[in-house]
Amino acid sequence: MTGAGEVCGKTVNVEGRTLSVFLGIPYAESTAGERRWKPPVPKAPWPGRLQATRFGNICPQNLDTSALPPQSEDCLSVNVWTPDLQPQSESLPVLVYIYGGAFETGASAVPIYDGAYLAARHGVVVVSFNYRVGALGFLAGIGDLQGNYGFLDQQLALRWINQNIGAFGGNPNRVTLMGESAGAASVGLHLLSAPASQPLFQQAVMLSNPLGLPYKNLGQARRVGLAYLNATNCRLVRDPVACLRQRPVEAILKGEESRLLSLSVLSEGLANFLTWSPVVDGSVIQQQPLEVAREGGFTKPTVIGTNTDESILFIVGLSKGPVSLLAYSALFNILMGDVGPTIANRYAPRLLRDYREPLEAFVNDYLFYCPNLALARNARAPVYTFRFTHAPSVSLWPGVERCKGRACHGDELPFIFNTLRLRGITNPGEQTLAREMSEYLGQFVKGQPLRGVGGLAWPAFTPNSNPHLRFDIPTQVFQPQNPNCAFLDEIGYQRTD
């Protein structure tokens, strides 16, 4: 029984354990029509018993989602995997997952996010949910639109979990919030920049958080919004927001792909690296996350992980052939402003035929590894850091040639969830690695010593020794050295100038 009514799920057997699974439980009303670009409204009570045996609709997005549930603006739902629904049982720790997708795409129904193994193996309650993405989730600065609607969806889902997870055997006071990519960025905002989120979880796991990127302010978001109004033919009208609310969802999505919008993102450097994303509005999101950490606001136990080749997916569309010196230099000037030439020269001090590798190295360092290291140094609670260096035998990105033989962005996810079978990975060594990664995660969620499967202790991060786990075959403790981090620390991350 939830606060809105009774739900009926299904049972599955995993790892010799029976789980109760509840899929597609609505936590908010439809966001269509007049509710478009407004904070989510909690779901009203429903009569009778809700059948919660299939994933709910996914939120509208520009992606081929034919293998997933239908797209609809009525998409805000949660999913729960629980190993224990017995009365009088001790309540279980809860792991909540937020998907990534550059704040433009994503869905909790993606098969590799299946929470069944984690729930069964570790005796924890696993939860995932949908939130609005793209313009529907993050348009801001137009009329009275303050943005952050997708982020407010996340907050409402966390409140739903806080209020209802006890009915599924979970403990609302032992919640670990985990996300990857834009999901990890979301976790970082809940952790550091959004005071209303603070009571709703106790620990965090951030996988591949592009922490070097700044979040737009409302002025920067407005410039993107004006370009979007042009793309949707809603700028030269008396009430642009009313015009947008009357547009069919197909027109809303088409506007996201407009060349007018693509050109507008060049004007703000790194702030527009992601066209659609949360906005520092001074209310829902109050500061850039690293600012909060430097001021002592990083106070929850956290796992921080990055992959060795995060940047390939961000650079792959730049050029099918070699990256020229002209393109390389221009990108640094656009993205980094007056410090661009200095950085470009550091990563490529001599002439090259192809500047792709130094560009990838910079994106790896500046967006991912170095700012997350800086974040860990400012923690006021235990932090555990890792590098995923294993090149999967089956990449998550089979169409990206450069990801073959490398640990690309997102490649760790089938290992974290131990859903390797869905990728056709049967290699015994990789299956062992998946069990190890899952074991460390389960131990962290349950507050146990982090010793994995074989007893290898995962030491907490300290600024002086910088210990990381290297997730590979075999897994080891190591101390990575990256001389570029001190250089980039001086330049600063999340630059908005």
Active site residues per annotation: 181, 310, 409
CB count within 10 Å of CB 222 equals: 17
Backbone angles phi, psi at 82, to 5 degrees: -135, 135
CB count within 10 Å of CB 13 equals: 10
For residue 6, give every residue at least 6 positions away whose Cβ sits within 8 Å of its Cβ, in sequence order, or none: 48, 49, 50
CA 177 – CA 158 distance, rounded (Å)? 9
CA 214 – CA 435 distance, rounded (Å)? 35
DSSP assignment string, 195-211? GGGGGG-SEEEEES--T
Pairing of strands 216-217, 203-207: unpaired
Structure-token pair, residue 459: 């030491």
CB 190 within 8 A of CB 178: no
CB 77 within 8 A of CB 127: no
Q: Can you tell me whether residue 31 is helix, strand or coil? A: coil
CA 485 – CA 468 distance, rounded (Å)? 16
Q: Can you tell me whether residue 24 is helix, strand or coil? A: strand
CB 138 within 8 A of CB 148: yes
- What 8-state DSSP symbol labels residue 447? T
CB 239 within 8 A of CB 301: no
CB count within 10 Å of CB 429 equals: 12
For residue 327, give every residue at least 6 positions away whose Cβ sits within 8 Å of its Cβ, in sequence order, or none: 318, 319, 355
